[in-house]
Structure 1
Amino acid sequence: MTKAIKLLNALPLPQRARLMELAQEVSFPEDDRIFEAGGRADRFWVIRSGAVSLTQQVTSLQRVTVASLGVGDLLGWSWLFPPYEWDFGAEAFSPVRAYEFEAASVLDLCERDPQLGIVLVRSVAEILAHRLESTRGRLMEHYALHGRGSL
């Protein structure tokens, strides 16, 4: 499995500085639901401290953690693709501090700085590929451990 990339580290310094001009510092207390699957995706975060669990509702009563995110990780990518709705839920596993970015402002910046846009989209795509691989493995593990049959 490849090592996860960190979004801000993937950007060249001039583009990183321009993106960071749009950042707002936010925090979430432990156990806070940051967003729910199906909700409106109009922002994203880069985690500065703490841990976040990405969850998938598998039954009406059961939620499964499909990924754990930590320092430097991108939280939220659904803002980049229609229908702009969260595919997973997210919960603060511990107190979290993060940089928050409003999607509309970032997309406007990408239009004005195509180099930043290309690097940003490529970085998000690489992060998604890594997460898909990890999520698939976790779901297979979950079903194998809980006798739900094969996938």
Structure 2
Amino acid sequence: MVSPEMLRRYPYFAKISEESLKEIAMMAEERSYPAGLQLFNEGDPADYLNIIVEGEVQIQYQLGNGEKRTVDTLVPGDILVWSALIEPYRTTAIGTTSKPTKVIAIKAKPLRELCDRDPMVGYQLTREIAKLLAHRLESARVQLAAA
């Protein structure tokens, strides 16, 4: 469990009720990873929604020729594995730590259940993920065009 106050630091949770925030905090835990660790591969189950607290994670796509291309670098405050909330609940890229990294890992299934019970939580998180996806698509487009 993490504290609700810790979650409140991130804009994704700014407008969520105290009661729902406490419930999310009960689903969450802090995790630490060394630099150079591949956290997930494209198509892996997205069982946790993560928020980066410290460190960096490189997001890569594997191209048709087998080459991996970094399309984004996630930093503290960024959401990692947004696909934990969006069907089919599978990762869409490769994520590798480039520095020692600490995250808040929130169990996806109970978080999705909370979103179903509390539409405001679902709306806030989906809105933030939509903004994040728009940014990441633009970043990926720039990175792929520059190659």
Compute the TM-score of the two structures, normalised by the length of structure 1. 0.82
Paired residue for 1:91, among 93, 96, 112? Answer: 96
Aligned: 1:10 with 2:15: no
Equivalences, count: 136
How far apart are residue 77 of structure 1 and its match?
A: 1.4
Distance 2:16 2:43 in 1: 34
How far apart are residue 21 of structure 1 and its match?
A: 3.0
Distance 2:118 2:88 in 1: 24
Unaligned runs of 5+ in 1: 1-6, 143-151
Distance 1:115 1:50 in 2: 30
Distance 2:22 2:10 in 1: 9
**4+ aligned runs moved over 3 Å, structure 1:** 15-18
Root-mean-square deviation (CA), in Å? 1.8
Distance 2:140 2:22 in 1: 31
Name the % identity: 32
Distance 1:64 1:28 in 2: 22
| Structure showing greater Rg | 1
How far apart are residue 60 of structure 1 and its match?
A: 5.1
Distance 1:17 1:124 in 2: 21
1:101-140 → structure 2 map (5 Å cutoff): 101-140=106-145
Paired residue for 2:34, among 29, 34, 46? Answer: 29
Please, which moves more after superposition, 74-83 or 25-34? 74-83
